[in-house]
Amino acid sequence: MISLTACSFPSSIGKTTSALLLSPKHGTKLVFPLESQIKPPWLIYFSKTEESSSCELYDPSMQKRYYLSFPELSGSRVCHSNEGWLLMYNPNSFQLFFFSPFTHDRIPLPPLWMAYDQRMAFSCAPTSSTCLLFTVTNVTLDKITVKTCYPNAEEWNTFVFKNQLPVSTFEQILFSNGVFYCLTNTGHLSIFDPSSDSWDVLLSGPPLEHHGSNGCFMTQHQGEIFLIYMYAHMNPTVLRLDHTSCEWTERKTLGGLTIYASGLCSETRAEQKQPRNCLCLPVFHGFKRTCIYYKVDEESVVSLKWKKSDPYANIWIMPPLNPILNQLL
């Protein structure tokens, strides 16, 4: 039986909030204190039924699972994750909101109609005064329309730019170096700079390596942008953006990084004991949700086990800081 308990502690936003104690199947209790420490991300799975409010948290470093229920998320799908917060969207009410699964805090946003394949990203935790939400809402032969807003805003800011690329959808959006990087499904890369409200095309031609791929992930680490193309019968290709030449260069190593990849957003970690220099990919193994690791600097056939899945089915999230595991009586 799953139990949910709440305890109170001072939050970083100057009020009292609640941390959840989650009882996983292993019979352990999870407490969420505030000590700061960078940890590997956890994977959160969402039920395929829109009306369902059940979720599963998976910690790949400990291979533990936690089962949660969030009635307030019923009918909503996840759009993005950053600094322990989820961006959620309800397609029936067009309502967007930030949600913390570890404190139940919720921050509203102005409503917006979104296409099913529309991508979004936000720059940092919505409790920060600098948090900005960004999305591309419309692409035509001659125009690109983007929108931005801040947490608790009442309306969206709209910007229209001349389209210099073929009509396509934006498959990946991430925030780094003060700008939003936007990758199309044809491999073209553009940036939106919120400091000047400007749109620029970085790469007007797609990387050759993307041909024949059945999915891609884009992530960043300390300002370095990485792009991973996946294939049905080939090993993944890892590319890094050269900021000087504005070209993608293939990488045979990740320099000790671990990239936790998912369709909506990906995370990177350094200074881990194990695993390092890997891609960590969510998969279904039999009837079990789990992860597989692909060593970038070694020959591997792990890509044969990876299949493109529903991007809204799971997402990586920064876990509670210093979780404490206690045995239940």
| pLDDT tens string 236-293 | 889 999 988 889 999 888 888 999 999 899 999 986 676 788 888 887 655 677 788 8
For position 144, what pLDDT does the model report? Answer: 96
pLDDT of residue 40: 87
Q: What is the predicted pLDDT for the residue at 204?
A: 74
121-174 pLDDT, tens digit each: 999 999 999 999 999 999 999 999 999 999 999 999 999 999 988 888 899 999
Q: 325-328, long-range: CB within 8 Å, 24+ apart, which pairs?
A: 325/28, 325/29, 325/30, 326/28, 326/29, 326/31, 327/27, 327/28, 327/29, 328/23, 328/27, 328/28, 328/29
SS3 of residue 47 by DSSP: coil
Q: Are 48 and 140 in contact (CB under 8 A)?
A: no
User: Please, what are the domains in the chain?
Assistant: 4-327 (2.120.10)
Cβ atoms of residues 176 and 131 within 8 Å: no
Instruction: For the chain, give the mean pLDDT.
Output: 80
Buried b (16+ CB within 10 A) or exposed e, 90-129: beeeebbbbbbbbbebebebbebebeeebbbbbbebbbee
Q: Extract the tokens encoding 278.
A: 């890997």
Residue 100 confidence (pLDDT) above 90: yes
pLDDT, tens digit, 9 for 90 and up, residues 105-124: 999 999 999 999 899 999 99
Phi and psi at residue 113, in whole multiples of 5°?
-75, 135
